[in-house]
Structures are given as C-alpha cells and as structure tokens.
Amino acid sequence: MEPAFKIPEHDLDPLEGLACALDTETTGLNPKIDRIISFGYVEIVDGRIGKTVEWFFNPGSTPIHPDALRVHGLTTEFLSDKPPIKAYLPKIIELVVEMIVCGHNLKFDLDMLDAELARHGFGPIAQYIAGVHDTMKEARKRWPGKPASLDAVCARLEIPTAHRVKHGALVDAVLCAEALLAMRRGQRSLLDLQTAPEATQAAGPGHAPAGMAPILVHMADAGEQAAHEQYLADLAASGTEPLWPDPTDPEEQDAPRPH
C-alpha cells in the first residue's frame, strides 16, 4: 500500500499550532486483512503536551497474529468486550482534523487507519489532516547510521522507558511526543531567541524566556571528559598554548576570546 500522505516535512513545524502524536496496535502487519485493536493519541498545542486518549477495539473474527501478540500482549479475551472500531472512526477523525499528525514509523499507522476508514465508507486520512511528521525519519536525519527505533531514540534523548514492558498505543504515542519535543527543543529555543529578543532580555542572562522550552543539554560522560583532559595534557606537553583562556585562572577570565 502506498503511503497515506506525502508532504515535504521541512514545510511543517509540529511545535507550531495544533499537532498530535498517535500510535496503533493491530492484529498483524497487513492493512488489507488485519485490524486496529488499540488507538493512542496525544495532543500537542504550541509545543506542549495536552490531553491523551486510548481506545481498545474488538477485531471480530480477525485473529491476532502470534508475533503481534508478543509485541503488545493484547489478547482476544481482553478485547472480547470492547466495541468495534466503526463507531469510533468519526471520533478519530475529530481528534486529528486539521492537525499535523506525528508518529514513529507513521506510515504503518496511517496505512492501517486508511484501511479501516475505507472499509467503513470514509475517505483517507489525508482529507482531514494538515500534514504528517515522522519522528523516525527525523531521528535518521539527525543521527545518520544510528538505530532509529523508538526505544533507541528515547535512550539517546534520555527519555525514561522502564514502564514500557510491551508496546502500547498510548505509551508509544506519549514517548513519540516526548521524543519530538526533545529533538526540537533546542532548535525551537534558538528560533525564539532570534525572533523575541525583548523576551530574552526580560528573562535575564542564564534564564529562558517564559513559555520557551529549555535547550536540551547533554553533559560529557566520564570517557569524553577523560579524553578531553588527555588532549589538554598532550597540548601542554607539546608547548602549545591553547587559544581559549583557563576558566580557573582569575587573570585569564576577562581575556578576549578568539572568534
């Protein structure tokens, strides 16, 4: 099945205006025969996480593939008293209408949603939303050659995932939203600094303007710190003076910095 929605990602800013993160759990991987059995949704308004939604659905006679069951743990017994998805499709449309829809490996979820919508007489999701943004694609652009699974991205961004024993639609949608905000927080902060100098001045040095997300800072680990100290030692042994002043030397703290 072709991607449900194509739009240049650089034209979209999911932290500007209305956006959402969503995820689905399914009976399997084939949109033609498999069904959505769980839907998770997180609202994102101007870069802040809002309301969340999680629904479970009875897949009827469609069996849950053993591989899918191992991933999400949703059994036929658990879903037996849940409603069919048909009555909830208008509610899903209402949740995402005119929003930038975000997700991790989003194509799969949108293909599954399109199949369910078509099955019950609705148009494709592209008719209702403003656009899409895939956090997996963003992660691959930011860290080429690095693992881009949701677990790997969250680990890189230091987002806790200990509670994620199995995949869950809402759990994964929340993690996706948190990863999106973490990846773009520094970028957005720099944009705000450029476009709102008066807010920066009012906040004072060392403080972010009100309403602006803080810049994400990763401190050097022990190995990186040791490598840096060894570099400085090698530099001193060679007789080469560093270009930057020693922050521990009071006489050098006010020295002019090289540009």
Judge whether 259 counts as a catalytic residue: no
Rounded CA separation 72/75 (Å) = 9
Q: Which of 10, 167, 207, 228 is catalytic?
A: 167
Q: Indicate which residues carry an active-site annotation.
A: 167
